[in-house]
Amino acid sequence: MSKYFLLIGLLLLIPAIWASDEKPPESIMKESKAVLEQLASLPYRIVYETYENNNWELYSIKADGSDPINLTDTPNVHEMYPHVSPDGSKICFVSDKTSNDITIRCVYYMNVDGSNRTLVAERSRQPCWSPDGKTIAYLHSEYDRLQTNDYATKGIAFYDLASKRHREHPNNEKIHHLYNLCWAKNGRWFVATVHGGMGYSHTNLAIEVDGMHIYDLGIGGCRPDLNPDGKRIAWGETDNIISVADIDFDADVPTVSNIKHPIVDDKHVYHVDWSPDGKYLCYSRGVGGLFQKNGPGTNRGIAELVGVRGIWSLCVTPSSGGGDYTQVTKEGITTKEADWYIPAKLDQPN
């Protein structure tokens, strides 16, 4: 059975491999010291996953890349895919664990300083926060054994931090093969990418949080992220282009308009995230394509997938465009899946 699923996964990845062989667009990106100087004055930090010393860890840096802090510091445990709560006090993330040669992916959360690590759910992936920070939404793994593909998921669940109770999405009979779940500020909608499920080939969807409605946003590509004010969306339109647009969640049907392309690069670019003020985009930039396993906790697969060790650096550019950017993590290692936040004081009860 596992060989069958591996074959299906590789077949689904063929279009992505072909796309990576196509000639990329001419880059508009140029490194700029001015952007670095702007970032140095911002009160924000960026949390991200990195692979060093044979281990996935979660690190935090200032917006300009200074003051790196290892938040997890767990040499024998791998942490990935961090997302910070709206108030800046907590981080949800995933961690893989192996027992009897079976690896499963689990969702956790912790304080933003790395303390009070708490298990949310096993056999689950890609969590995100509700706008009020009281609930974590996460995706169920499709299979008992970990499959590397981001879209090996089936159904959405909710975890209430206060009661520690879980509940299922009302439309879980239909919800299938989502990844990169993101909760809109008005609380009514998720956005996510679907790949080979729910009657879709590959597109980005708006999914009603507490209802049955699902709408195709009509934008190709993957990994959407919403501006903190809930009025703009960014996503990877292709391997080499990150786009931004206006999004209206107050209409009867969520709609996307005014599409622009602030990031066009001859390298692969993924994992885009808005700064808290919406003025900057942080993204991963590096080498795409298939990678073999390369160290403990790593998996064979396309470079941008969670748990695959590609060669990525984090970069920041103004969301208004212009092509100026600065690299905020060092060259030659894996740094990806960034999330901006405003640090909170941990003087409140958990």
For residues 276-286, give the mean pLDDT. Answer: 97
Q: What pLDDT does 112 receive?
A: 97
User: Are 194 and 177 within 8 A, CB to CB?
Assistant: yes
Record the pTM.
0.92
Domain boundaries, the chain: 26-341
Mean pLDDT rounded to a whole number for the chain: 92
First to last CA, the chain: 42
Res 16: pLDDT: 40
Mean pLDDT within 153-157: 98
Q: Please tell me the predicted confidence (pLDDT) of residue 41.
A: 96
Mean pLDDT of 199-212: 97
259: tokens are 């599409």
Q: Is the pLDDT of residue 15 over 80?
A: no
Alpha-carbon distance of 276 to 228, in angstroms, equals 6
Note the pLDDT tens digit of each residue in 90-116: 999 999 998 888 999 999 999 999 999
- Whether the predicted pLDDT of 328 surpasses 80: yes
pLDDT at 12 (0 to 100): 42
Tell me the CA distances in angstroms from 128 to 94, 120, 267, one per residue in order: 11, 12, 28
| Sequence-ordered alpha helix ranges (H) in the chain | 2-21, 33-40
Tell me what pLDDT residue 23 has.
61
| Exposure letters 2-31 (e unless 16+ CB within 10 A, then b) | eeeeeeebeebbeebeeebeeebeeebbee
Mean pLDDT calculated for residue range 162-183 = 98
Mean pLDDT lowest for which of 1-10, 139-148, 237-246, 338-347? 1-10
Domain 26-341 has CATH 2.120.10.30: yes
Residue 10 has pLDDT above 60, yes or no: no
Residue-wise pLDDT for 248-270, tens only, equals 999 999 999 999 999 999 999 99
User: What pLDDT does residue 14 have?
Assistant: 38
Residue 101's contacts (CB-CB under 8 Å, 6 or more residues apart) are none
State the average pLDDT over residues 177-206.
97
- pLDDT score recorded for residue 329: 98
Mean pLDDT of 34-60: 97
Which pLDDT does position 20 carry in this prediction? Answer: 39
Q: State how far the Cα of 134 lies from the Cα of 157, in Å rounded to an integer.
A: 14
DSSP 29-93: -EE-HHHHHHHHT---EEEEEEEETTEEEEEEEETTS-S-EES---TTSEEEEEEE-TTSSEEEE
Residue 100 has what pLDDT?
A: 85
350 has pLDDT over 60: no
Q: Kindly indicate the confidence band of residue 332, based on its pLDDT and cuts at 50, 70 and 90.
A: confident
Q: What is the DSSP string of 129-153?
A: E-TTSSEEEEEEESSSS--SSTT-E
Using 50, 70 and 90 to split pLDDT, how confident is the model at 24?
A: low
Beta strands 30-31 and 324-327: pairing type?
A: parallel
- Give the type of residue at 196: G
Name the percent of the chain lying above pLDDT 70.
91
Q: Is pLDDT of 331 > 60?
A: yes
Is residue 8 scored above 90 in pLDDT?
no
Rounded Cα distance between 81 and 339, Å, is: 9
- Taking only the tens place, the pLDDT of each residue in 36-47 is 999 999 999 999
Mean pLDDT of 312-324: 97
pLDDT at 127: 98
